[in-house]
Structure 1
Amino acid sequence: MKKVINTILSFIALSFITLSMMGISSAKALPTLLHNINGYTIKDGQLEQFDSILFEDGEILAVGAHAELAEMNSFSISLDGKGKTLLPGLIDAHGHILGLGLNLMRVDLRGVDSESDSAEKVANYALLSDSRWILGRGWNQVLWLNKEFPTKSSLDKVIADKPVWLRRIDGHAGWANSKALELAGISKDTPDPDGGKIIRDEEGNATGVLIDAAMSLVENKIPPLNRKERKAALNLAFDHLIELGVTSVHDAGVDFETYKLMLELSGKDRIPLRVYTMLGGSDPRLEAMLKYGKVNQPFLKIRSVKLYTDGALGSRGAALLEPYSDEPDNKGLLLTDKKKLGQYFKLITKYGFQVNTHAIGDAANHLVLEQLAKLDKEASAKTLRHRIEHAQVVVPEEIPMFAKLGVIASMQPTHATSDMNMAGDRLGEERLEGAYAWRTFLDNGVIIASGSDFPVEKANPFLGLHAAVTRQDSDNQPKDGWLPSQKLTVAEALKSFTIDAAYAGFWENEIGSLEAGKKADFILIDRDIFTVPEEQIDDVQVLETWIDGKRVH
């Protein structure tokens, strides 16, 4: 018997040598048993724990107790997890991959607390840039002392010879210097475009800030990205997300050029995490992309379209049923009217694609729900899993409609903690009842798919988990949380960033939980989110990221 065992061991050793010579990873040749871990997953809606996970060729064979799994396969590669906490790979259900990559390449104004400091940071960036345009993102006038929109003059003082264009943190407003306005042909006589607004001074001159559709006046003059720049931005974003423990992301609206590049990268196995791509509804080649059909590859899935109905609350572009409390003559901007939205739904559902519609204000959410209610059974939300992206301000009585129609609420927890310093001013106390109302949504049986909306917010998913559980910002303010009755439990928050986000992208049979037959996508972190004080969840560090059974970080 001993001789037989020695022969088997010799054969295994020889196999390792042969595989190494062939350039094949031994981790792919034999099952891997990762043990001594503090594992968590959501299974059948319930939180489960385990101390070992067994996987082979990217697929989970089993999770459970070490002794049981070791007995299942005695010839596995054994790895000691050293007691670290293991979670399913986190899924960001709403982000902008190209935007994140570009943000990492350009001037970042996130968190800068004044207009003058922002202009100074832009000037310092410009000294190191040879670009024809100075581009950036992240300013937020709500954080500034005067809380007023910036003006072109502060940028003109530091950069007069090059055009400057800086998107607001939410992407629904932009700040230009005089050179950019000149190139765009914006003068005192330029009318506001439909769905947009040119902010003007008392004499009617453009101040430098453009809202929603008006931004295209400047952005149409910016030299388009070339293929090399686009690819570099995507790769930067991929690496950044993987380091943060994001193993799958829903890319919320891509243009035709990014669509083509994604298909190319996928064909060459160059996408390192699982991407659920939404086609950009405003792209003139939308129907051509729809006709190409659904894409269902291991790391790329395409079967949805992203639409917009309104702008954002911070820039007062979100469409409200009643005027803004702090601007009584303004109800926001409706970017897509009822007729056009109905036409979009008819076109997109004809090809069997899911429709994911941006709606922030209560008027926008009402409009989308109204149109979704008109769909027939084959095109309904229960069949195609239509989503409302953000669903930030909803009339409370309309929240049960989400569950009744089968609409998924794709929400971003950090939006609440970023907006809490102005949401009350914009909406008044009464409308806050249906604002960022995660608990109310869950209590009404609505599926929540959580994300970050990067680069509007930081891509770190643990900031979102923290915000969902505490309703506090990164300084753990306010003390008991903003509108604390809407808090989620840690398990509910994790579910929204894993299996429910997977469901929202038709990927629930492959990812989102750790169980036999699913993909070995998981992360190891430095603390247990279920036992540490909740205010520490946003301090979690990702130690390792595994995708398809391979350690990629």
Structure 2
Amino acid sequence: MRLEAIIGNAWLGGAQVEPVRIHLNESHIARIETGVFVPQSETHLALSPNEVLLPGFHDAHLHLITGGLQMAQIDFGGATTVDEILERISAYISTNKPERGQWIQGHGIEQTEVSVTRTDLDRVCPDNPFFAWTHDLHSAVSNSSALIQARIDGAIRNPVGGVFERGRDGKLNGVLREKAAIYVADQIPEPSPDELHASFLRAQEHALSLGITCASASVRHGLLNAYLNLADSSDQVLRLNMWKVSTTFDFEADRFEKRNSKKFRYVCFKGFTDGALGSRTASFWQPYSDDPGNSGELLIREGPLARFIRSAHREGYQIAMHAIGDRANSVVLDAIEMAGSNGIGPELRPRIEHCQHLRPRDIERFAKLGVVASMQPVHCTADMNFVRPRLGEERESTSYAWKSLKDAGAVLAFGSDWPIESMNPILGLHAAVNRTRPDGFPQGGWHAEQTITVQDALLAYSQGAAFAAGWEEQIGKIAEGYLADFCVLDENPFKINPCDLHRIQVTRTIVNGQSVYSSPNSSRISSSIR
């Protein structure tokens, strides 16, 4: 049923919620009245006194089909010992009974907590090639069978931008860093089109249950057709802002046909400047504190990146660059500044994805160069325990610095990086406002000077993300003329104790004026007032 009106408390972008009646004209917001009203039709949705209507959350950075595929694999999240990892593999084999030689895959190994090698894996999985990504998706681990399938032996050399890790005995231990992981991953049979389609639907259903109505995601070549085949179809409910991954930074080779509808936007390139903090491949100006001979992996320099950005901007393509370490962020900012010398740039909203660790001098450059800071608050609370050992106290102080970026005038766009972290935007809201995990650790917040208000965090999940996607005149606000994409929360985020923000639940999600998800506790659509 398509709704004609929604009555109750709504967040219109300010510091509080207010009572409203929102009139809908099919897929759009027609008119907003303030005040207390009662439903008058069976097409009116009346919220309970505790519920709050928000614009649908926009996850500004995730990996939908990848996450959907992983939902059918072994999840190693929370495993802190080798025995726990091996128990999960054994349980999977016992339940699924894979045929000899069939690949077994997993994800979510937290390499900062546990080190597992091919020797460990061979104990429980000798007859099947095994491959699992680490938590950050920048490293992987495989067993001997997988290395044999990939024709990798002790004579192999490290590829540019990757490492085949070896033990103290000099032998390969099955740990694969960055591009070395691709050597094994490429041996895994490609999912069928039907499997990719089913994975998208799984991921979309999960997103809608969390109040997400729009998602921005990078896509590598192998998954591109799966997304393009879904574009603007009846199976696509989420609005999608897709970015094509470039690994060569050759604009002519990577050029693609742009698409831009109300449901599907495909006008952006995604590139990688460095790796990740957990695997010590994020690129820094100074070496890692716990690995003095290593400053990370810089995957492209300023000059070539500037030429690529200039070519892309000249033809109206947007750029989104992965950068985690402070050197990687400096390189991207320098390249954007160099590329903008021809007067083209900020209006195309270049983005830096993650921008986790910054030099103080670079923080103000985001706003000056018109660069969107696309950040994932849950990364902060997931990583905080190992930031100081990796980087030391000084560099830690400007890590995950969303408050400093906002104060300097940068546009914030928040997301999750799912499936690396939880997709739940409520957990991101909690992390942004408190800088703590849901259990309250650490007391008072990790670098609490970087906390932001509930209002600013919600803006980053709505208006900021919409601006970053070029959709700020269509979504991200509850305003007349905007698309009728909403989510309903069971509690008011402005009134609840900030430490309890993580408890909030989504009770309903609405896209184009139609309810696409409702929890058992959601308010019912009125069955007419008689």
Please indicate, yes or no, whether the TM-score normalized by the shorter chain is above 0.5. yes
Residue 537 of structure 1, CA deviation = 1.1
2:5 equivalent to 1:33: yes
SS at match of 2:231: helix
Q: For residues 284 and 58 of structure 1, what CA distance do their matches in structure 2 show?
A: 39
> Under a length normalisation based on structure 1, what TM-score does the superposition of the two structures give?
0.89
Matches within 5 A, 1:242-281: 242-251=208-217, 253-281=218-246
Residue 67 of structure 1, CA deviation = 6.4
Q: For residues 100 and 116 of structure 1, what CA distance do their matches in structure 2 show?
A: 25
CA 1:75–1:217: 2 relative to 1, 3 Å: closer
Q: For residues 40 and 378 of structure 1, what CA distance do their matches in structure 2 show?
A: 41
Residue 259 of structure 1, CA deviation = 2.7
Residue 279 of structure 1, CA deviation = 0.8
Give the corresponding residue for 2:47.
Answer: 81
Q: For residues 153 and 223 of structure 2, what CA distance do their matches in structure 1 show?
A: 33
Q: Is the 8 A contact 2:249 2:305 kept in 1?
A: no
SS at match of 2:275: coil
The amino acid that maps onto 1:409 is A
Q: Is the 8 A contact 2:22 2:31 kept in 1?
A: yes
CA 1:331–1:164: 2 relative to 1, 3 Å: same
SS at match of 1:348: helix
Residue 99 of structure 1, CA deviation = 1.3
2:55 equivalent to 1:94: no
Match of 1:133 among 70, 91, 103: 103
Higher relative helix content: 1
Q: Which protein has the larger Cα radius of gyration, Structure 1 or Structure 2?
A: 1
CA 1:435–1:87: 2 relative to 1, 3 Å: same
Q: For residues 379 and 312 of structure 1, what CA distance do their matches in structure 2 show?
A: 32
Q: For residues 255 and 18 of structure 2, what CA distance do their matches in structure 1 show?
A: 42
SS at match of 1:434: coil
Q: For residues 345 and 445 of structure 2, what CA distance do their matches in structure 1 show?
A: 33
The amino acid that maps onto 2:29 is I
Q: For residues 386 and 25 of structure 2, what CA distance do their matches in structure 1 show?
A: 50
The amino acid that maps onto 2:110 is N
Give the corresponding residue for 2:523.
Answer: none
Q: Is the 8 A contact 1:255 1:283 kept in 2?
A: no
Matches within 5 A, 1:346-365: 346-365=310-329
Match of 1:241 among 189, 192, 207: 207
CA 1:106–1:459: 2 relative to 1, 3 Å: same
Give the corresponding residue for 1:515.
Answer: 479
SS at match of 1:204: coil
Identity %: 34
Give the corresponding residue for 2:18.
Answer: 49
2:190 equivalent to 1:224: yes
Deviations 1:515-545 (A, max 9, x none): 0000111111111111111121111111100
Residue 379 of structure 1, CA deviation = 6.7
Q: For residues 107 and 221 of structure 1, what CA distance do their matches in structure 2 show?
A: 18
Residue 496 of structure 1, CA deviation = 0.4
Give the corresponding residue for 2:494.
Answer: 530
Q: For residues 379 and 157 of structure 1, what CA distance do their matches in structure 2 show?
A: 60
Deviations 1:251-275 (A, max 9, x none): 1x21335332323222433211111
2:55 equivalent to 1:112: no
Q: For residues 93 and 250 of structure 2, what CA distance do their matches in structure 1 show?
A: 35
Bigger shift: residues 106-115 or 275-284: 275-284
CA 1:500–1:138: 2 relative to 1, 3 Å: same
2:400 equivalent to 1:433: no
Q: For residues 202 and 481 of structure 1, what CA distance do their matches in structure 2 show?
A: 39
Q: For residues 312 and 184 of structure 2, what CA distance do their matches in structure 1 show?
A: 30
Residue 287 of structure 1, CA deviation = 5.0
Deviations 1:42-69 (A, max 9, x none): 16xx666333211121100122325689
Q: For residues 400 and 54 of structure 1, what CA distance do their matches in structure 2 show?
A: 41
CA 1:121–1:291: 2 relative to 1, 3 Å: closer
Q: For residues 549 and 232 of structure 1, what CA distance do their matches in structure 2 show?
A: 25
2:113 equivalent to 1:143: yes
Q: For residues 517 and 264 of structure 1, what CA distance do their matches in structure 2 show?
A: 29
Q: Which has the higher contact order (CA 8 A, sep 6+)?
A: 2
Q: Is the 8 A contact 2:17 2:52 kept in 1?
A: no
Bigger shift: residues 308-317 or 55-64: 55-64
Q: For residues 212 and 415 of structure 1, what CA distance do their matches in structure 2 show?
A: 19
Q: For residues 130 and 510 of structure 2, what CA distance do their matches in structure 1 show?
A: 40
Deviations 1:502-527 (A, max 9, x none): 00000110100100000111111111
Residue 110 of structure 1, CA deviation = 1.1
The amino acid that maps onto 1:317 is T
2:174 equivalent to 1:208: yes
Q: Is the 8 A contact 1:196 1:212 kept in 2?
A: yes
Q: For residues 349 and 219 of structure 1, what CA distance do their matches in structure 2 show?
A: 33
Bigger shift: residues 274-283 or 403-412: 274-283
Deviations 1:183-202 (A, max 9, x none): 12222211110001111112
Where structure 1 has 5 or more consecutive residues not aligned to the other structure, the ranges are: 1-24
Give the corresponding residue for 2:133.
Answer: 167
Q: For residues 206 and 359 of structure 2, what CA distance do their matches in structure 1 show?
A: 37
Deviations 1:49-92 (A, max 9, x none): 3332111211001223256899xxx8894332122211110010
Give the corresponding residue for 1:456.
Answer: 420
Match of 1:300 among 222, 246, 264: 264
Q: For residues 181 and 373 of structure 1, what CA distance do their matches in structure 2 show?
A: 43
Deviations 1:156-214 (A, max 9, x none): 11000101001001100001111111112222211110001111112221111111011
Residue 303 of structure 1, CA deviation = 1.1
Give the corresponding residue for 2:410.
Answer: 446
Q: Is the 8 A contact 1:291 1:351 kept in 2?
A: no
Q: For residues 58 and 244 of structure 2, what CA distance do their matches in structure 1 show?
A: 19
SS at match of 1:480: coil
SS at match of 2:358: coil
The amino acid that maps onto 1:280 is V
The amino acid that maps onto 1:195 is G
SS at match of 1:55: strand
Q: Is the 8 A contact 1:396 1:433 kept in 2?
A: no
Q: For residues 350 and 491 of structure 2, what CA distance do their matches in structure 1 show?
A: 36
The amino acid that maps onto 1:155 is L
